[in-house]
Amino acid sequence: MSDVHADPCHASAYLVRAAVTAPSPYNTQPWTFVAEDDDRGVEVHADGARRLLLADPRGREMTISCGAALFNIRLAVRHLGFNPVVECFPRPADPAFLARVAWGAYRRPAPEDERLFGALRRRRTVRGPFLADPLPPSLPDVLRGHARRAGATLDLVADRASRRHLAELVRSAEDARRSRPEYAAEQARWTWWPGEPRCDGIPVDADVTHPDATVFAGRDYAGLTRMFSAPAGGRPSGRGQGLVVILSTDHDDPAAWLRAGEALQRVLLEAAGHGVMAAFCTQPLEVPSLRGRIRQTLSGGAFPQMILRLGYPRCVRQLPRRPVTDVLRVAGAALA
């Protein structure tokens, strides 16, 4: 297979347009896709050049992001009326080759597929406090079911003491990150000022809320904490934090990370279908000792892969994506 950019096949381009709406840390979009001969299937590859070298040395978050993109591809195939045939890690000698999705037999899309597909372009990452409106009472169970069917577990951090404990671990990871110049440098590579012609990364004005506006400290994309040591309203109360959940898996290897990504995307899309969006608090999962504490104290010994807050957003902003022609290559195309 020669990897060259070419006019993408139409069906694969359709699937990839759905895939790239997936979330990724710092909007790194760490994926590439290959259209196989005559649009017979599409391959999902991790793009190691876009991995966060410091925050994500093992490629865990990169693989989770690709798992979310893979779930979107499954969904788009079902939306078009076919059964997706998915093979994970089809070439063991090439660990970056995460999955191949081929077109299976005709299958009428299920109402759930259509609902999740319809939420693809509505889903957004939120930062800062949520509105106070209560979530639909049945939603936590529905989300748990989605995680389970994707091979993961979603635990609610329901009691106040556990939430406080988790918020302290997030705080401790975020404080460490803010004080270390090497992390600031990594962050700087993926944040940009309005007006820059970027189609990846995070614009510093993506969220103008102070990162300490909730008890779950947010990443300081714009360096606001260097200018204002505390949010305008003073120390955050417990309000606006939303429903706090931890997504975990029984194993902690690339296959589990890929599954976690698919589970994450199912949960995010189901929530988005109800107008409920997620804020991510993944900082302590990037610090092995803190991740170990979360595993022991909050996820029942399973490996925590994601920490989310879920709620109704005050505002959302759409972040850019790389064009399909940048991320989709055609297998076997002649060298230009």
Minimum CB distance to ligand FMN smaller for 24 or for 32: 24
Residue 70 is inside which H or E element, if any? helix 60-79
Residue of closest CB approach to ligand FMN: 23
Shortest separation between residue 116's beta carbon and ligand FMN, angstroms: 16
Minimum CB distance to ligand FMN smaller for 65 or for 214: 65
Shortest separation between residue 336's beta carbon and ligand FMN, angstroms: 31
Neighbouring residues of 124: CB distance < 8 A, sequence distance ≥ 6: 272, 277, 313, 316, 317, 318, 319
Minimum CB distance to ligand FMN smaller for 327 or for 330: 327
Minimum CB distance to ligand FMN smaller for 9 or for 306: 306
Count of other CB atoms within 10 angstroms of residue 88:
17
Query: With contact defined as beta carbons under 8 Å apart, do 201 and 28 qualify?
Result: yes
Minimum CB distance to ligand FMN smaller for 36 or for 207: 207
Residue type, 83: N
Shortest separation between residue 329's beta carbon and ligand FMN, angstroms: 23
Q: Nearest 5 degrees, angle CA 145-CA 149-CA 155?
A: 45
Shortest separation between residue 305's beta carbon and ligand FMN, angstroms: 8
Residues interacting with ligand FMN, by CB under 6 A? 23-27, 61, 64-65, 124-125, 127, 202, 218-219, 280-283, 319
Minimum CB distance to ligand FMN smaller for 70 or for 330: 70
Task: Give, in order, the Cα–Cα distances in Å from 81 to each of 76, 107, 109, 122, 322.
Answer: 9, 5, 5, 22, 27
Over the Cα atoms of the chain, what is R_g?
Answer: 20
Nearest to 216 by CA among 183, 187, 174, 247: 174
Residue type, 152: A
Residue type, 248: S
Structure tokens at 186: 């990594």
Shortest separation between residue 7's beta carbon and ligand FMN, angstroms: 26
Shortest separation between residue 90's beta carbon and ligand FMN, angstroms: 23
Q: Residue 266: exposed, middle, or buried by beta-carbon count in 10 A (0-12, 13-18, 19+)?
A: buried
Shortest separation between residue 134's beta carbon and ligand FMN, angstroms: 23
Minimum CB distance to ligand FMN smaller for 36 or for 286: 286
Structure tokens at 129: 């406090």
